Amino acid sequence: MSELAETTDTTNLSDLEIKDTETSERYFKIGREAEDKGDRLAAIEAYEAAYAADPDNPDNCFRLAYNLDLAGEEDEAIHLYEQACQVTRPPLNALINLAVMYEDRGQYAQAERCVLQVLATNPTHERAQLFLKDIQASNDMEVNEDKDRHLEQQHAMLEMPVTDFDMSVRARNALRKMNIRTLGDLLQVTEAELRSYANFGEASLEEIKTMLAQRGLQLGQARQQQQQALKEQIYSEQQNGESSDANSALIQMPVGELNLSVRARKALSLLNINSIVDLITKTEAELMGVKNFGMTSLLEINEKLAERNLSLRQLDD
């Protein structure tokens, strides 16, 4: 009895496996017929039955995903397209459709990956070639839009009046007398320049530095960025053969070539000035703010720069 029962059970399991495949094919055929008649709901119902009978069949996944997408069921369609594309040789139309849905959602990296997979199989696939250009253009556009938003936010922050920040009346009055109205103005000024103004106390300086540090900023930050941009511009011009003689000299010449006095060289060292381009991005106030840097050293530096048709940076009026 037990042997007979075991044989019967095995036969039934085999029959079930055949039945699943047959059921899948039968419902798939019904789904195609419903599609041809334009009955999308009936097609979806049939394809769902085919998928339930054989979920590993990529054709079942694709047809069900396609119709669900047209019916507005995007999340389920994406899931099925992804499943259909997991086989060794995924259907190219499944990859293209999945790429379209990724692009619609702004998932450009995933869309590009799908299209590249199509082109790896068929390098002359015209739709994939055109679609790849569209995806890359959309990606560049999104990057530019993000950059523009960031710049707008940054500009708005720099335009904030310094009176909006929590500072003492003394510090605010000091900044007002120096014509520093906005956060952007403040980031243009260095610590040395603030120290050079009369009646600007150490307490006010520390208060301002603390306020900026709380926002991830520091005195002279905008100036440093401008200096770096100037250096990169000069270097780029030189690399492209477009720099003037003066600019070439700036990028090549260390400040030691100016033959300055020991006192002036020590002062420049304190400001971490190593090259001519470092020097000309400084103002007289910054240099005079360095301890033991006097008028004699300033006149000496101005004279050496003038010999090369250069000068220290001038503050705007």
| Residue 287 resides in a domain | yes
The residue type of 105 is R
**pLDDT, mean of residues 111-137:** 80
Domain identity same for 90 and 12 = yes
pLDDT category of residue 2 using cuts at 50, 70 and 90 = very low
Shared domain check, 128 and 257: no
According to the per-residue pLDDT averaged within each range, which of 117-121, 137-141, 281-285 is highest?
117-121
* 312 domain residue, yes or no: no
Say how far apart CA 48 and CA 40 lie, in whole Å.
12
**Would you say residue 291 lies in a domain?**
yes
pLDDT at 45: 92
- Structural domain contains residue 156: no
Same domain, 137 and 176: no
Judge if 173 and 124 occupy the same domain: no
Position 42 scores a pLDDT of 92
Mean pLDDT across the chain: 75
Residues 173 and 51 in one domain: no
Question: So what's the pLDDT on residue 122?
Answer: 83
Identify residue 222 by its one-letter amino acid code: A
* Domain CATH code at residue 103: 1.25.40.10
- Residues 274, 254: contact at Cβ < 8 Å? yes
Of 89, 122, 148, the residue at which a domain comes to its end is 148
User: Residues 6 or more apart from 314 whose CB is under 8 A from it?
Assistant: 283
Please tell me the total count of domains within the chain. Answer: 3
Q: Does residue 17 sit in the same domain as residue 130?
A: yes
What is the per-residue pLDDT across 21-73, written as a single tens digit (0 to 9) for each?
888 899 999 999 998 898 989 999 999 999 999 988 888 888 998 899 888 88
> Both 51 and 106 in a single domain?
yes
The boundaries of the domain holding residue 300 are 245-306
Who contacts 200 (Cβ-Cβ below 8 Å, separation ≥6)?
174, 178, 194
With respect to residue 228, please indicate whether it lies within any of the assigned structural domains.
Answer: no
For residues 12 and 191, the model is more confident at 191
pLDDT confidence band for 245 (50 / 70 / 90): low
Q: How far apart are CA 62 and CA 58, in angstroms?
A: 6
Residue 234 placed within a domain: no
Name the domain boundary from 148, 170, 189: 148
- Give a yes or no: residue 256 inside a domain: yes
CATH number of the domain within which 254 lies: 1.10.150.20
pLDDT of residue 27: 92
- 187 and 282 co-located in one domain: no
State residue 49's pLDDT score.
Answer: 92
Q: What is the pTM of this model?
A: 0.39
Looking at residue 99, what is its pLDDT? Answer: 84
Residue 84 lies in a domain: yes
Looking at residue 154, its pLDDT comes to 55
Highest averaged pLDDT of the listed ranges 10-14, 24-28, 68-72, 227-231: 24-28
